[in-house]
Amino acid sequence: MSPIELEPRYSTKELQGKCIKRLSEQELGVCLRKLLRGEIENKDIGEKYEALVSFLRSPVSRKLRDVCERYLSQGKEVRAKIYFWHDTPKYKIILS
């Protein structure tokens, strides 16, 4: 499965921001809707759904959220890639 890429951001006057947790939940909802519509033949959707559930339940999600919020508070643009290594959620942060 390819990494799940999320771009958290703070709210501004023009755009509403979202944290890692909210973005993960939003992606989870997209996967669930696809599965409910019957797109079960696409194995990647099921794997992505399971990966997101596992990530949200793990302590890694809280750690990633804290790190991203720290960088966002410093005015940096953040992208996070979530991937799984031996069924354990891992992440990589890319700053711009």
Given a contact cutoff of 8 angstroms between Cβ atoms, the answer to whether 76 and 68 are in contact is no
Give me the pLDDT at residue 39, please: 65
What's the pLDDT score for residue 41? 66
pLDDT at 49 over 80: yes
Q: What is the mean pLDDT of residues 65-69?
A: 91
- Name the pLDDT band for 73 (thresholds 50, 70, 90): confident
Side-chain half-sphere of 83: how many Cα atoms within 13 Å? Answer: 7
Q: What is the pLDDT of residue 2?
A: 83
* Chain segment 22-39, per-residue pLDDT in tens: 999 999 999 999 888 886
How would you label 43-62 residue by residue, b for 16+ Cβ within 10 Å and e otherwise?
A: eebbebbebbebbbeeebbe
